[in-house]
Amino acid sequence: MTTFTASHQISIPSFIYGTAWKKELTARLVQAAVTAGFRAIDTANQPVHYNEPAVGEALRALNAEGIGREKLFLQTKFTPVHGQDHRIPYDASADLTAQVSQSFDRSLAHLGTEYVDSYLLHGPYSQRGLRAEDWEVWAALEGVYQSGRAKLIGISNVNAGQLAQLCERAAVKPMAVQNRCYASLGWDRDVRTVCREQGIVYEGFSLLTANQEILDHPAVLATANRLGTGPLQVIFRFAQQLGILPLTGTTNERHMREDLQIDRIELSEEEVSAIEGIGEE
């Protein structure tokens, strides 16, 4: 378990199960993931990529099996209108504060819960800097946090400059970041640096899919060989040791168990630095 300490102490499981792109298999796969041992679930109120109501369906079934809401870490997101398809889960003509409020209320209804553990802004409104829209939406997220219905708030798909700006000017600083993590960018080094300085939890996604070219790198293979495991497990464990909270979106129950077994392996400091530097060779 990673222990997060900011305004209050929150424990976050050390691996997150991501539910994007599962469509009609979402409920079955979330149940399988929790049964395999995952205790953190990531979703979004964004029908084009996620099936949030089906996550709720899985949670009801798990509750009936004795795995209650309090045993799980639930994370969902507010997705701005440019990230939605025609199934916008709020009134897009309403002001942004109302959009967040409607989207959040629907997330709670979909998930059958009175609170989420983490609520993220899916991404800023532009790739450069923060605009008036970002500040208005962030203020709405702060309101959700202050109401106690999200235990922490954060932002996804953010660059280091935007994150630093948000930390500097926000009334409630982001407590979690969720980004795609490329080895070629030092595993998102600039953003991770801001996170470390500000005490923000850094969640990394696409650790495997964005880094296919390094899976057979000699440093990864030598580490896998020494530890008697596979290269994918090395990457996930490397990420954890570097301070990255990994997500996996596997659809395979054997892979779920393999992914969770990484807590049995430990890379040396030299192995961590060798893999950290791979993309910059």
Ligand X SMILES: NC(=O)c1ccc[n+]([C@@H]2O[C@H](COP(=O)([O-])OP(=O)(O)OC[C@H]3O[C@@H](n4cnc5c(N)ncnc54)[C@H](OP(=O)(O)O)[C@@H]3O)[C@@H](O)[C@H]2O)c1
Identity of the residue, 230 or 277, whose beta carbon is nearer to ligand X in the bound complex: 230
Q: Does 156 bind ligand X (CB under 6 A)?
A: yes
Which of 34, 38, 42, 262 binds ligand X (CB under 6 A)? It is 42
- In this complex, which beta carbon is closest to ligand X, that of residue 239 or of residue 273? 239
Contact 125, 133 (CB under 8 A): yes
User: CB 210 → ligand X: shortest distance, Å?
Assistant: 7
Query: Does residue 250 bind ligand X (CB under 6 A)?
Result: yes
Nearer to ligand X, 4 or 15 (CB): 15
Q: Is 15 in the site for ligand X (CB under 6 A)?
A: no
Residue with tokens 């409920």: 27
* Shorter beta-carbon distance to ligand X: residue 161 or 231: 231
- Within 125-280, where are the H helices? 132-146, 160-169, 189-198, 218-227, 231-242, 253-260, 269-276
Residue type (1 letter), 180: R
x/- string (CB under 6 A) for ligand X, residues 118-147? ----x-------------------------
Instruction: Spell out a b/e string for 50-89, using b for 16 or more CB atoms within 10 Å of the CB, else e.
Output: bbbbbbbbbbeebeeeebebeebbbbbbbbbeebbeeebb
Single out the residue of 155, 177, 248, 278 in contact with ligand X (rule: CB under 6 A). 248
3-state secondary structure of 152: strand
Contact (CB, 8 A) for 121 and 103:
no
The answer to the question of residue 178 lying near ligand X (CB under 6 A) is yes
Q: Residue numbers of the site for ligand X (CB under 6 A)?
A: 18-20, 42, 122, 156-157, 178, 205-209, 232, 247-252, 255, 258-259
